[in-house]
Chains A and B, each alone.
Chain A
Amino acid sequence: MKVLVAEDDRMTRDGLVEILAREGYLPIPAEDGEAALRLWRETQPDFVCLDIMMPGISGYDLCRQLRAEDPALPIVFISAKSEEIDRVVGLELGADDFIVKPFGVREVVARIRAVTRRYMVTRAPQAEDGPFSMADLTIFPSELRARRGDEIFDLSLREVCLLRTLHRQRGRVLDRNALFDACWGRNYLPSSRSLDQQISQLRKRIERDPKAPEIIRTVHGAGYRFE
């Protein structure tokens, strides 16, 4: 899923890009309004994050133009202004949500996931969106959630992808490259550690006993497997 990130502050932009990449999105950074408009036309992202105060075309103006071309495009505003009037103007322009500075990783993740869920519900249903079960856990990809009994777990796009890939190849050992190709993309060159880290974090949340995993099992020297 491609996300355009238009933010003139380089550090914030890079931080957002990293968070989005960790979540499993394909971020497209833009340093100002003009670049954002050009990149949007070139790459046709699934949704966009717009800073309001940008040199050249402001976030509001960009929002109007994008909305005119694609009324269903999810748009999230990033702003240092938290005055109510800004929210009202932004929401009237058709923004789906607001992330107000100063924000943390979790707030960004929560809001991006919320927008993604809304986007998945409204887009044309796809085969991979259907729910599937792994052990006593049921995964709902279009909701970015999993459920065990009454317990509900929030999942990232990448975590859903990892679980789906393991579920589809049930019984087979998948090495790191296969998982990278499926969930990070071929051009991505992550360290093997980042995959292990992601798996370890996921296990902590969805496994009954992370030390004796039932859903994602480690096959030493080979990779991971779901049985």
Chain B
Amino acid sequence: MPQRLIIALLLIVALPLVAMVWLGLELAARERAGVEQRLAELLTSRLEGSAATIEAVVAQWQSRLMAATAGADGLDSAGARRLVATDGAIDQLLLLTAAGQLRLPDPGQGLLSLAEQAFLERTRPLRESGALHPPAPEGQEGRGLIAPGWLSWHWGDGMSLIFYRGLPGGEVVAAEVDRLALLADIIAALPDQRGAGSADRIRLLDARGRILYQWGGYEPPASELPRAELPLAPPLESWHLAYFSPTPITGAGTRLLFSATLLVLLVGLGLAAFYVVRQLNQALREAAQRVNFVNQVSHELKTPLTNIRLYAELLQGDLEEEPEAARKAGIIVAESQRLSRLIGNVLSFARGQRGTLRLNWRAVVPDECLREVLEQFAPGFEQAGIAIQAELAAPQPQPLDPDALAQIAANLLGNVEKYAAAGGRVVVTSSQAGAGLSLTVRDFGPGIPKGQRERIFRPFHRIRSDLTEGVSGTGLGLTIARDLARLHGGDLTLTAAAPGAQFTLTIPRRDP
């Protein structure tokens, strides 16, 4: 099969395939990104549920602390210590004057415990920065109460959490919350560690990423990244929730679908290509068989044709004294010659198709060869009323294939006989310059329409007109004539002439 065809087929199959793969991948990537985003949103909303649970616990704690510190106005040191000792939620207590000065625990009133000393130490930055004593909102009746709030900060190994509120007397009370108790309450509010039937895991993580609590039936590998994360609302903003699930739900289906589609397409295109190639191969084989058949038939025709021609010529010799009978024998001779030329053209064309059209170079006097051809055509031309005007001036031997030259000349003259008889005359000119042989055949018929001038050299092309209607022909003559001219290193061209047509053959001289 021709290489160009294979390349074309590959392009036809490969190009759309590559385009489809690229497009598919691009679409799949976008689809996946979209799905992942939607999934992350979904998961985040799931985490938001847990976050809301935690926030509810914190809100409960706030109510509880509000209640616990409601009577803290004017509390003395002993009262404060009692409150801390009795309320499990409060670790330490701090009271600031309306002016923001530290009132309790008071280092001036007896000895402070180690816990109290440490508490004062770690709250010093808070106190000094005024964070625990924010300006109270301006109300209609002078300054209002300082609103309750939370502060969280990191000290040592963990997070410390302080709840503060303004008291009606203008003081501010701040309670350091028992972190573990808060965490215990949060954990109690969250689902069990082994979530029944759940195939995922949610983790509550602190600022350093340490797991505070986790639940769900899935145990993610250490390297696995969470599919969604959600930071908690203040005061627990340094903590966050993370969601893990075993299989990426995202895009798995899409990819599978895409791969399956691609496979089906690939197989489909492959089958189509295979079918096309097979059909083409079969067509080529059949064409080769036809050419081979035509070739064989043409060879088989040669022997009977030889006999017809041979005996007609012998008969012509015998009938010298009977001109009418000799003329009829002459017609048989001329027709058998025409048939010979036809077979010659078919065989040359078949050889050209097979790439085996070769020349048989010999030193030949072109005019001798041309004269023989003209002599062959003389009776036919006479009958058709075409006068031959031969101006032959190529008497020097020149290397060329005499059979090919005769075939070219015969094809040109045959066309004149068939299509340009109305012109009544043909001029055949040969010349030999230093460059080589030049032969022109000029007729005075209807000429070749402008649009057809190059097409007439294509195989099987015949000009359609009233002129060619009913005229037999294979449409091979000029194709073969040009092929043979080009094999000689020359050319056959149609040159401008009016009226009629003029064909010019050139065969350059080459060293024998």
> Which chain A residues have a beta carbon within 8 Å of chain B's beta carbons?
9, 11-12, 15-16, 18-19, 22, 80-84, 87, 101-106, 108, 197, 201
Question: Known contacts A101-B303, A104-B310, A105-B317; can you find 11 more A-B pairs with CB under 8 A?
Answer: A9-B303, A12-B306, A12-B310, A16-B310, A80-B299, A80-B300, A87-B360, A101-B306, A102-B339, A104-B337, A197-B320
Q: Are B303 and A15 in contact (CB under 8 A)?
A: no
Considering only residues 147-194 of chain B, those with a C-beta below 8 Å from chain A are none
Q: Are B360 and A104 in contact (CB under 8 A)?
A: no
Minimum distance in angstroms from B377 CB to a CB of chain A = 14
Q: Are A102 and B305 in contact (CB under 8 A)?
A: yes
Report the Cα distance A108→B359, complex, angstroms: 22
Contact of A82 among B306, B313, B347 (CB under 8 A): B347
Contact of B303 among A16, A22, A80 (CB under 8 A): A80
Residues on the B chain within 8 Å of A81, using CB? 299
Q: Are B360 and A9 in contact (CB under 8 A)?
A: no
Report the Cα distance A127→B356, complex, angstroms: 49
Q: Could you list 30 A-B pairs, sorted by A, with CB under 8 Å?
A: A9-B303, A9-B307, A11-B307, A11-B310, A12-B306, A12-B307, A15-B306, A15-B311, A15-B314, A16-B310, A19-B310, A19-B314, A22-B317, A80-B299, A80-B300, A80-B302, A80-B303, A87-B360, A101-B303, A101-B306, A102-B302, A102-B339, A103-B306, A103-B310, A104-B310, A104-B333, A104-B337, A105-B317, A106-B313, A201-B320
Q: Output the nearest chain A residue to B351 by Cβ-Cβ distance.
A: A83
Q: Are B314 and A105 in contact (CB under 8 A)?
A: yes
Minimum distance in angstroms from B348 CB to a CB of chain A = 9
Report the Cα distance A197→B319, complex, angstroms: 10
Report the Cα distance A49→B375, complex, angstroms: 27
Q: Tell whether B425 is near chain A: CB-to-CB under 8 Å.
A: no
Minimum distance in angstroms from B300 CB to a CB of chain A = 8
Q: Are A105 and B310 in contact (CB under 8 A)?
A: yes
Q: Are A12 and B303 in contact (CB under 8 A)?
A: yes
Q: Tell whether B285 is near chain A: CB-to-CB under 8 Å.
A: no
Report the Cα distance A91→B317, complex, angstroms: 32
Q: Are B313 and A104 in contact (CB under 8 A)?
A: yes
- Given A12-B307, A15-B307, A15-B314, the answer on whether A102 and B299 have CB atoms closer than 8 Å is no
Minimum distance in angstroms from B71 CB to a CB of chain A = 126
Residues on the A chain within 8 Å of B307, using CB? 9, 11-12, 15
Q: Tell whether B510 is near chain A: CB-to-CB under 8 Å.
A: no
Minimum distance in angstroms from B102 CB to a CB of chain A = 121
Residues on the B chain within 8 Å of A102, using CB? 302, 305-306, 309, 336, 339-340, 343
Majority secondary structure of chain A interface residues (helix, strand, loop or mixed)? helix
Minimum distance in angstroms from A29 CB to a CB of chain B = 15
Residues on the B chain within 8 Å of A84, using CB? 356, 358-360
Report the Cα distance A102→B311, complex, angstroms: 12
Report B299-342 CB contacts with A as 1/0, cut-off 8 Å.
11011011101110110010010000000000001001101100
Q: Are B302 and A15 in contact (CB under 8 A)?
A: no
Leading 5 A-B pairs by shortest Cβ distance: A15-B310, A101-B302, A102-B305, A105-B313, A11-B307
Residues on the A chain within 8 Å of B299, using CB? 80-81
Minimum distance in angstroms from A130 CB to a CB of chain B = 29
Q: Output the nearest chain B residue to A194 by Cβ-Cβ distance.
A: B318
Q: Output the nearest chain A residue to B347 by Cβ-Cβ distance.
A: A82
Residues on the A chain within 8 Å of B314, using CB? 15, 18-19, 105
Q: Are B305 and A11 in contact (CB under 8 A)?
A: no
Considering only residues 264-313 of chain B, those with a C-beta below 8 Å from chain A are 299-300, 302-303, 305-307, 309-311, 313
Minimum distance in angstroms from B477 CB to a CB of chain A = 18
Residues on the B chain within 8 Å of A106, using CB? 313
Residues on the B chain within 8 Å of A22, using CB? 317
Report the Cα distance A12→B347, complex, angstroms: 22
Report the Cα distance A82→B340, complex, angstroms: 13
Residues on the A chain within 8 Å of B317, using CB? 22, 105
Residues on the A chain within 8 Å of B336, using CB? 102
Q: Output the nearest chain B residue to A8 by Cβ-Cβ distance.
A: B303
- Given A80-B302, A81-B299, A197-B320, the answer on whether A104 and B309 have CB atoms closer than 8 Å is yes
Minimum distance in angstroms from B465 CB to a CB of chain A = 32
Residues on the B chain within 8 Å of A104, using CB? 309-310, 313, 333, 337
Considering only residues 340-385 of chain B, those with a C-beta below 8 Å from chain A are 340, 343, 347, 351, 356, 358-360
Q: Output the nearest chain A residue to B376 by Cβ-Cβ distance.
A: A104
Q: Are A11 and B311 in contact (CB under 8 A)?
A: yes
Q: Output the nearest chain A residue to B359 by Cβ-Cβ distance.
A: A84
Q: Output the nearest chain A residue to B298 by Cβ-Cβ distance.
A: A80
Minimum distance in angstroms from A226 CB to a CB of chain B = 24
Residue among A22, A81, A101, A106 having the largest count of chain B Cβ atoms under 10 Å: A101
Residues on the A chain within 8 Å of B320, using CB? 197, 201
Residues on the B chain within 8 Å of A87, using CB? 360
Residues on the B chain within 8 Å of A16, using CB? 310
Residues on the B chain within 8 Å of A19, using CB? 310, 314
Residues on the A chain within 8 Å of B306, using CB? 12, 15, 101-103
Minimum distance in angstroms from A111 CB to a CB of chain B = 13
